[in-house]
Structure 1
Amino acid sequence: MSNEFDNTNVEEVADRIKGEKAKTRKGNLILKKREGEYQERSKNCLFICSNKRTEILKNLMHDVYIIQKPYTCYMPKLHPQLVNITDKIDKLVEICIHNACSFFFSIFSTKKNPSRFILGRLYNNKILDYYTFCLLSFIPMNIFPFSKEILFSTKPIVIIQGSYFNMNENTKYLKNILFDFFKHKNVDSFAKNSLQRLIVITAYEYAGQSLSRKFVKTSDPNQEIEQNKEIEQNKEIEQNKEIEQNKEIEQNKEIKQSKEIKQKRHKSKYVMSFRQYIFKKEIYQNETENDNPKLEEVGPRFEFTLESSQIPNYNLFQEAIKKHDIHPKKKEKKIKTDELGHDIKRVYVQKQDFNKLHTKHSNFFKKSKKIGKKNKETAQ
């Protein structure tokens, strides 16, 4: 017997059932789970390594993983199937769907692209957007003395500052994903005592020195020896020609390399820095509002630049951020709620005739009827 749904996709089958009503109670529950939610849940993040990495990138991923706890799925081992991870985003999406994650944070390092990490997100089990970054500097969390005092399960305050994030569409979407990633859990309200962390991401213009070109210089050997034979002169002339040719080739290579470096610097002209601070206990002890709270850096501290990006489709992004109106439930009459939250309903029932109602008959009732008839006959 061949199954009807062997060659069909599960999502296609679900789309067919959408317009129809479920025939059983279990089918009704399955359809309710597939429906959209009015309030978005806290998003989980997948932390995964590619086939190659460095120790610095491993420590970076571990520190970011600690910040994002408990909404995480950590896979620190090397994955040889993720070679050229930028070309295998579909595999990352499959792993995210299997582990119920909406974000993925991956690290990789090659000769051409050293110290790289990717941050991306999903919507409706499909890739929405992802961004590749180049890590410039990193200071781990263990070095900072106040890192042990912080509770990472608390919700932080996130500040993203810099004119770079409002330059074009790419940077605006970048600001959105950074805020969406580091905001941690979704909370309707919070108390003052729960505020413990502050995350600041700033973008500033790179003000480094211009790269200088290095040229190869050669000396003329004919200056020291004035009188030589014609054979030696011819040899020296040939050598000079070869040196000049090599010189031109090296100059062309250096010019190309300098142009490539300038192009990279032009792309990564702006540098982004990540800082995390902790509020001191004096804020909670004072009842008056403090305009300038005292902060202590907790770490990690790292700087990075944007290398490449794939921004989301406009229509898909608008669908992802759309907030649907919640229809209020109709109030039911004659229902009250206790202090414990139990519903108390008042039901009005008419007088019931038990002779006409169908009740469960048993042998006991049959015997009792026979005994009643015998008693009546004897009495007569």
Structure 2
Amino acid sequence: MSALDAVVKPKTKRAKRFLEHRAPKVNENEKNTILVKGGNASDTVTKSLRDIYSLKKPHCVLYKKKNMTRPFEDQTSLEFFSKKSDCSMFVFGSHNKKRPNNLIFGRMFDFHVLDMIELGVEKFVPLKDFKCSKCPEATKPLLIFAGDSFEVNEEYRRLKNLLIDFFRGPLVTAVRLAGLEHVLHFTAVEGKIFMRSYRVLMKKSGCRTPRIELEEMGPSFDFVMRRTHLASDDLYKQSMKRPKAAVIKKKKNISQDTFGTTYGRIHMQKQDLGKLQTRKVKALKKRPADKAGAGQESPKKKKLV
């Protein structure tokens, strides 16, 4: 075995905890994101990355220095940053004459680029231009997708899957009504993707269920799809494979209805009701005369002439 293949054991408890955090798990950690700025970035790209960072905090790392790299030509730099920061999602912002105000959304699998989709920013309204109160940090958003392109076109369908993976936030078992206060709406129409961010306002309605109103809080993007780098079907299927320990086995003869009520089916052998033990009541006891008559044949009735 070469020196490169040798396993280095941690010498301190801190290093041991670090390696355990990076090790593969049955239930993976929350997906973190790195925001990287290219060698030439416009003011629109810089503000866009800053607003996306505001939406993704605290599961996000913003790189402030410029990085001379081109993801569609050389992906080694992004893979290095991903492994260094332990992030499986990334956004790369750049600007040039051929592709102005460019944002590349992508994700990693085993610290290698899985999918990359390049979106051009045609119109952008930053978060600070909306004079209203904002949602608290780390609020789990509601994601809404409108448009037939998200279901028909393969590139748009993969973009929808990527955006869900990017903005869905931590996995939770239950959410209270007051926690549903952030909505991200994506609309695909005429080759463009419109991203809008709303804050949910709950007003009095005179009954138990509140009246819902949406107030736009920003940021607002008008995207156009440019280049794509999508994983093959085999690699995409492999990235979605779940370990056997994480798969919940289905229990036989147990079902649930729409209201969450659990029903179970019990299989029993056929019972002989003649031997069924019943309650011993005095009125059901047989008299001695009945017991004696039960052993004798009943006398034949004579026909009267």
Show the counterpart of 2:265. Answer: none
Q: Which residue of the other structure, out of 308, 318, 335, is the alignment partner of 2:227?
A: 308
The 1:279–1:308 alpha-carbon spacing in structure 2 relative to 1, beyond 3 Å, is same
TM-superposed CA distance for 1:126, in Å, is 1.4
Point out where structure 1 has 5 or more consecutive residues left out of the alignment: 206-269, 329-380
TM-superposed CA distance for 1:123, in Å, is 1.1
Show the counterpart of 1:204. Answer: 189
Show the counterpart of 1:116. Answer: 102
- Letter of the structure 2 residue corresponding to residue 121 of structure 1: R
Show the counterpart of 1:95. Answer: 81
Sequence identity of aligned pairs in percent?
Answer: 24
TM-superposed CA distance for 1:301, in Å, is 0.6
Tell which has more relative contact order, 1 or 2 (C-alpha 8 A, sep 6+): 1
**SS of equivalent residue, structure 1 residue 199:** strand
Show the counterpart of 2:196. Answer: 275
Distance of 1:33 and 1:69 partners within structure 2: 20
Q: Structure 1 length normalisation: TM-score?
A: 0.58
- Letter of the structure 1 residue corresponding to residue 74 of structure 2: K
More strand by share: 2
Distance of 1:200 and 1:68 partners within structure 2: 16
Q: Deviations over 1:100-153 (max 9, x none)?
A: 11111111111122111111100112111111111110011111122x332131
TM-superposed CA distance for 1:52, in Å, is 0.2
Q: Which residue of the other structure, out of 35, 41, 50, is the alignment partner of 1:53?
A: 41
Greater shift, 104-113 or 37-46, is seen at 37-46
Q: Structure 2 length normalisation: TM-score?
A: 0.72
**SS of equivalent residue, structure 1 residue 142:** helix
The answer to whether residue 61 in structure 2 is matched with residue 73 in structure 1 is: yes
TM-superposed CA distance for 1:316, in Å, is 2.1
Distance of 2:151 and 2:186 partners within structure 1: 14
The count of aligned residue pairs is 245
Distance of 1:50 and 1:61 partners within structure 2: 11
On the 8 A contact 1:158/1:179 being kept in 2, the answer is yes
TM-superposed CA distance for 1:322, in Å, is 2.4
Distance of 2:82 and 2:156 partners within structure 1: 25
TM-superposed CA distance for 1:36, in Å, is 3.4
**SS of equivalent residue, structure 1 residue 326:** helix
The 1:58–1:294 alpha-carbon spacing in structure 2 relative to 1, beyond 3 Å, is same
Q: Deviations over 1:234-261 (max 9, x none)?
A: xxxxxxxxxxxxxxxxxxxxxxxxxxxx
Q: Which residue of the other structure, out of 149, 160, 163, is the alignment partner of 2:148?
A: 163
Distance of 2:144 and 2:102 partners within structure 1: 24
**What is the CA RMSD across the aligned residues, in angstroms?**
3.0
On the 8 A contact 1:50/1:85 being kept in 2, the answer is no
Show the counterpart of 2:165. Answer: 180
**SS of equivalent residue, structure 2 residue 92:** strand
**SS of equivalent residue, structure 2 residue 72:** helix
More helix by share: 1
The 1:286–1:301 alpha-carbon spacing in structure 2 relative to 1, beyond 3 Å, is farther
On the 8 A contact 1:41/1:186 being kept in 2, the answer is no
The answer to whether residue 32 in structure 2 is matched with residue 44 in structure 1 is: yes
Point out where structure 2 has 5 or more consecutive residues left out of the alignment: 248-305
